[in-house]
Amino acid sequence: MAMVSTSLASQLSGAKSAISSSSCLPPQFSGLHRSSLNFKLDQSESFSSTHSFFQQIDSHLRLSAGRRPCRGVVTMGASGKFFVGGNWKCNGTKDTISKLITDLNSAKLEADVDVVVAPPFVYIDQVKNSLADRFEISAQNSWTGKGGAFTGEISVEQLKDIGCKWVILGHSERRHVIGEDDQFIGKKAAYALSQDLKVMACIGEKLEEREAGKTFDVCYQQLKAFADNIPSWDGVVIAYEPVWAIGTGKVASPQQAQEVHVAVRDWLKKNVSAEVASKTRIIYGGSVNGSNCAELAKQDDIDGFLVGGASLKGPEFATIVNSVTAKRVAA
């Protein structure tokens, strides 16, 4: 079935054009500044059902003039692979991490997934030396330039020296607990990429920002700081992590997450390039677990996950990695 994007007026002008039930249509969009609803047209429905449909939508939000269809095929970045990152944060001991490594090494994982884990700095070497080559290693932070008199920091060069391929930058805990601002994070990303360390670039709004209708504005501002600084989007995965869903047990609905991912991809298309928008993987983070990952993975623009607490549980993390099978079914 062809994917179509039209104005409200043109939708209502055709008595035989109607909206089919689709995963592209979220039931609610609370806290979003503007909508980029996606529609499929079904010639078999009546005008009355179309009119009723728009009355229902209008009661929830104002529709913008522009609309973007869901991607008709599943395209997950330049590598064509689903991406799952495990952020272990400030957790673990040598013994518990050894047990986690054993669980991960014995897990049966789908082959067409890029899997990356981010241990605390002091355990990176232990993980690198014990974890199967199937996994790549990420750091949780890096400095803006070469090492030197920067107490408590760690340089990109040091991370590469011990085998890291990735770094997580812009995580909400660095932004809102440590106090890192957008430009500082952008400079970190620029230096990491200039030294061939790939970046998981985190963005996301706080609860009060969502409730104030600023979700898109916040995400766009954070994206712009990356875009203004980085030399290339090659080696970048964007992680949308609504702050209100991180570690709270609350998770954005699949439709809420998809809505923001669509907006992020549109921003890249308009402000960077269509090629970057198509190739860049956009993953979701925020209380992702073994129970909700499959439904999230079915969304067209969710290309994987950045996982927190559940990444500390080997079997559950494996379930999340293997949720790529739900993506294939949805396609």
Instruction: Please list, residue by residue across 199-232, b when 16 or more beta carbons sit within 10 angstroms of its beta carbon and e when fewer do.
Output: bbbbbbbbeebbeeebbbebbbebbebbbebbee
Which one of the listed residues 171, 259, 261, 316 is annotated catalytic? 171
CA angle 147, 221, 8 (to 5 degrees): 150
d(CA 240, CA 210) in angstroms, rounded, equals 13
Q: Are 251 and 288 in contact (CB under 8 A)?
A: yes
Q: Are 169 and 199 in contact (CB under 8 A)?
A: yes
Answer yes or no: 295 catalytic: no
CA dist 137 and 160 (Å) reads 10
The CA distance from 199 to 190, in Å, is 9
Q: What are the structure tokens assigned to 325, written together?
A: 């099978």
- Do the Cβ atoms of 124 and 136 come closer than 8 Å? no
* Catalytic choice (241, 259, 295, 316): 241
Alpha helices by DSSP H, listed for the chain, are 8-13, 47-58, 94-106, 124-130, 156-161, 172-173, 182-194, 207-211, 215-229, 254-271, 274-279, 293-297, 314-321, 324-330
| 176: annotated active-site residue | no
CA distances to 97, 110, 143, 277 from 43, in Å: 56, 39, 56, 31
Task: Provide the annotated active-site residues.
Answer: 171, 241
